Amino acid sequence: MAIVKWDPFDAFLGLQEDLNKMFRKNWLVPGAEEGMEGIYNWAPAVDIYETDNSLVVEAELSGLQPGDIDVSIDNNIVTIKGERKKETEVKEENYHRIERASGVFQRSIRLPSEVDAEKIEAAYENGVLKVTIPKVEPKKAKKIPIKASKKEDEE
């Protein structure tokens, strides 16, 4: 039997990699809860903020062309999806580190009901997709008058 030197640092790194895989697989990948692991490889970082007249979603999508991105709205959920293709100029065995994500992505954001879905605009500049969603005034509560019946008037 060969004697193997145990390195606690290597064991810790292996545990960390296992935990990272577990979190990515079960919580960070859209659709994982429905058994769709691996369909979406990554999700772009987004900033969501509000101005006086609109909600704005900015997604970091460097390296993509506008034609590679699809923006849609359905039932007050804005969905940004597309695919970032991996560059193949360098052979994979020549990489020292790969941190830029590639592959299919999807990001969905639920909107409040006070937006005008018909007037959404999207612009792409310097690797950032900016989706502007105009707000509308919320509907005011309508007061309903109550009519008394004749029987109650007679008593």
Higher-confidence residue: 5 or 110? 110
Type of residue found at 82: G
Task: For residue 47, count other CB atoms closer than 10 A to its CB.
Answer: 11
Q: Which fold has domain 40-91+100-139?
A: Immunoglobulin-like (2.60.40)
140 against 22, higher pLDDT: 140
CB atoms within 10 A of CB 150: 6
Residue 117 is predicted with a pLDDT of 85
Q: What does the mean pLDDT of the chain come to?
A: 77
Cβ-contact 128, 47 below 8 angstroms: no
d(CA 88, CA 94): 11
For the chain, domain boundaries: 8-39, 40-91+100-139
Phi-psi region of 85 (alpha: psi -120 to 50; beta: other; left: phi over 0): beta
Q: What pLDDT, on a 0 to 100 scale, did the predictor assign at position 70?
A: 94
CA-to-CA distance for 24 and 5, rounded, in angstroms?
A: 31
pLDDT, tens digit (0-9, with 9 covering 90-100), for 87-102: 666 666 666 776 777 7
pLDDT tens figures, 45-72: 899 999 989 999 999 998 888 998 999 9
The token pair at 21 is 């895989």
